[in-house]
Amino acid sequence: MKTDPDIVKTLREEERLGKLQNFTPRICNRTEILTTLVEPQGFSSTTGSQHSLYEPKRTIIDLVSPQKKFETIFENFSVAITLANNEERIVSWNKYTEELFNLHESDLFKKPVRSLYPPEEWQKIRKENVRQKGIRYRMQTKMLRKNKDPCDVDLSLCILKGRKGEIVGSVAIITDITELKKVEKELKESEKKYRTIFDNSAVAITMTDEKERIISWNKYAEILLGMKKDDLYLKPVQRLYPASEWQKIRSQNIRQKGMQHHLETKIIKKDKEEIDVDISLSVLRNHEDKIVGSIGVIKDIGDQKRTERNLQESEKKFKLLYEKAPVPYYTLNPKGLITNVNEKWCQTFGYTKEHVLGKSIFDFISKNQRTQAKHSFLQKISKRKTYTDGHEREFCTKTGAKRWFITHDFFSFDENGKVVSVYTTMEDVSEKKANVKTKKNKQTTPVKKHHTTSKPIKKKTKRRKS
């Protein structure tokens, strides 16, 4: 940087004499550097009688010469500082200015201040009327680097006036906020995505304040509840729940835990209809860990609950039919182990259900047919058919009696096509088999011939009349 120009020398002399005007002790943020250029009116470093208010401060500052103090702060401050003359040309700057804008002495000295700004940004600054107001703090704008690449900055301007009130120059304090603006942009993009998800989600979402009053919700919440803004805004969230369900939610201590996933409850629509829902709640806290609200995600599970109830009814009917069927039933896993039997099976075989569960069905088949039965069972499993035709098998009851049955197998599969269970009905054909055997035995038994003696029959002859 060149040797200080006349304007800087003038400002320093004015500072020494304490004659610069437009000073206010209300220094904001990084404009503290101005205290090296401007001192309170009425104070003179050459006056020895006025020490009371500023004595402690001046005692410390005076340990360093004004020239050294000015250079140290000006050159090493962590923001860019430029000094312009009354013609708005740059006459002084610190090192950070060169680093921020990638400019050198030839690019800065005596150059118009406006050359550092895009035209539209300079017009925006002009509209602030800083030369009339005297000062303007924290104005966000854009400035140009050497390659004309714009960068976002936070700008504070202060107009300097001489003893007669004339403008002698200005000081600009420039903070690079490029990264901050980048983060803000990313945050806005994130908020935009969040708002898109929030508004178009297929579940209802509500947000409450620290007093548990509804302050925000998405479109689906209105559809699900049949409510509008007047029905929801600033209404206590507990009004959406039946009293018993609200107590159930309260018992979960969610405000202490901070979160609760998938709690099944009921919610009240505008028409007073109660519907089944699944809710997930998250408590919101601020940087001081104080609760400032909560978010509720509400999913309508009415269809799911109706399906579950229908399934339960269906299972109940199936169980009743299974248990009370007039023929023996048993259920197997893919290994042939018994997982269930009905009452008729227990009556027929003489066992209790508890006794046979987990045992192999082949233990109840006659020994001379077990090997064949196992082989047949494995073939049925491998074919993956939902039903196989009846097969005759001889079973043994608890008493050792042999009985014949025709079995019909039904197979259920998982989503991968593997057998999960085998349901088997049994038709008792023991009497038929016995009758057929008896009839067959009768047909194959030889008939004995009985021999009887009889006198020969004499043939009668007619006598002729003479």
Q: Please check the confidence at residue 306 and state whether its pLDDT lies above 70.
A: yes
Pick the most confident of 193-202, 296-305, 308-317.
Answer: 296-305
pLDDT tens for each residue of 348-374: 999 999 999 999 999 999 999 999 999
In this structure, the answer to whether residues 347 and 435 fall within a common structural domain is yes
Residue that is last in its domain, among 253, 274, 305: 305
Q: Which helix (H) or strand (E) holds 265?
A: strand 259-268
Residue 432 pLDDT:
86
Q: Helices marked H in 81-127 — which ranges?
A: 95-101, 105-108, 119-126
The answer to whether residue 258 is domain-embedded is: yes
- At which of 249, 272, 305 does a domain end? 305
Segment 162-178, tens digit of pLDDT? 888 888 999 999 999 99
Do 171 and 79 belong to one domain?
yes
Q: To 10 degrees, the CA torsion angle through 49, 55, 61, 64?
A: 50
Residues 159, 281 within the same domain: no
With cut-offs at 50, 70 and 90, classify the pLDDT of residue 6.
low
Q: How many CA atoms lie within 13 A of 425 on its CB side?
A: 14
**409, 387 Cβ separation under 8 angstroms:** yes
pLDDT tens across 213-222, in order?
999 999 999 9
Could you tell me which residues come within 8 angstroms of residue 348 by beta carbon, excluding any fewer than 6 positions away? 328, 397, 403, 426, 428
Segment 281-289 shows an average pLDDT of 93
Residue 361: the pLDDT is 95
Residues 270 and 126 in one domain: no
Flag whether 281 is in a domain.
yes
List Cβ neighbours of 312 (8 Å cut-off, separation of 6 or more): none
Res. 457: pLDDT tops 60: no
Question: Please, which residues have CB within 8 angstroms of residue 218's CB and are 6 or more apart in sequence?
Answer: 198, 199, 200, 201, 204, 205
Question: Is pLDDT above 90 for 452?
Answer: no
- Residue of 335, 331, 299 whose CA lies nearest to 423: 331
Mean pLDDT, the chain, integer:
82
**Distance between CA 350 and CA 366 in Å, rounded?**
16
Q: What is the DSSP letter of 49?
A: S
Residue 79 contacts residue 30 (beta carbons within 8 Å): yes
Q: Is residue 1 part of a domain?
A: no
In the chain, the percentage of residues whose pLDDT exceeds 90 is 56
Query: Which of 43-57, 183-197, 292-306 comes out lowest in average pLDDT?
Result: 43-57
344 and 380 co-located in one domain: yes
Quote the pLDDT of residue 98: 92
Region 43-52: mean pLDDT is 42
Last residue of a domain, one of 181, 210, 232: 181
Residue 416 token pair: 């991968």
Q: CB-based burial of residue 374 (10 Å sphere; 0-12 exposed, 13-18 middle, 19+ buried)?
A: middle
Does residue 26 sit in the same domain as residue 158? yes
Query: Which alpha helices (H) appear in 45-94, and where do they start and end?
Result: 55-61, 66-76
Q: What is the reported pLDDT for 423?
A: 93
290 plus 383 within the same structural domain? no
What's the pLDDT at 460?
Answer: 54
Domain annotation covers residue 466? no
In a domain, 446, yes or no: no
Number of C-beta neighbours around residue 133 at 10 A? 10
Res 19: pLDDT: 45
- Closest by alpha carbon to 36, among 89, 73, 86? 73
Mean pLDDT of the 329-342 span = 95
Indicate whether 296 and 332 sit together in one domain. no
Confidence of residue 30 (pLDDT cuts 50, 70, 90): very low
In this model, does residue 332 exceed pLDDT 70? Answer: yes
446 pLDDT band (50/70/90 cuts)? Answer: low
Torsion of CA 26, 30, 33, 37, to 10 degrees: -50
How many residues comprise the chain?
466
Q: Would residue 317 count as lying in a domain? A: no
Q: Give the Cα separation of 401 and 395 in Å (integer).
A: 8
Strand order, beta sheet including 329-332: 338-341, 329-332, 419-428, 402-413, 387-396
pLDDT in tens, 78-109: 789 999 999 999 999 999 999 999 999 999 99
| Contact by Cβ (8 Å): 394, 403 | yes
Question: What total of structural domains would you count in the chain?
Answer: 3
**What residues make up the domain containing 301?**
202-305
pLDDT at position 226 is 96
Considering the domain architecture, whether residues 165 and 257 belong to the same structural domain is answered as: no
334 pLDDT band, cuts 50/70/90, is: very high
For tokens 């509400």, the residue is: 298
Domain co-membership, 14 together with 115: yes
Element (H, E) at 318: helix 302-324
Give the pLDDT score at 443.
66
Q: Could you tell me if 159 and 237 lie in one domain?
A: no
Residue 30 token pair: 């990084």
Q: When comparing pLDDT for 279 and 322, which is higher?
A: 279
Residue 189 counted as domain residue: no
Domain CATH for 426? 3.30.450.20
Confidence of residue 458 (pLDDT cuts 50, 70, 90): low
Position 140 in a domain: yes
- Average pLDDT for 440-461: 57
Cα distance between residue 243 and residue 454, in whole Å: 110
H or E element that contains 370: helix 367-383
pLDDT in tens, 367-396: 999 999 999 999 988 888 888 888 899 999
pLDDT band at 319 (very low <50, low <70, confident <90, very high): confident
Tell me the average pLDDT across 29-39: 39
Phi/psi-derived region of residue 29, left when phi > 0, alpha when psi is between -120 and 50, beta in every other case:
left
φ, ψ of residue 430 in degrees (nearest 5): -60, -45
**Do 116 and 222 belong together in one domain?**
no
User: In 127-261, which residue ranges form alpha helices assigned H by DSSP?
Assistant: 130-133, 178-200, 219-225, 229-232, 243-250, 254-257
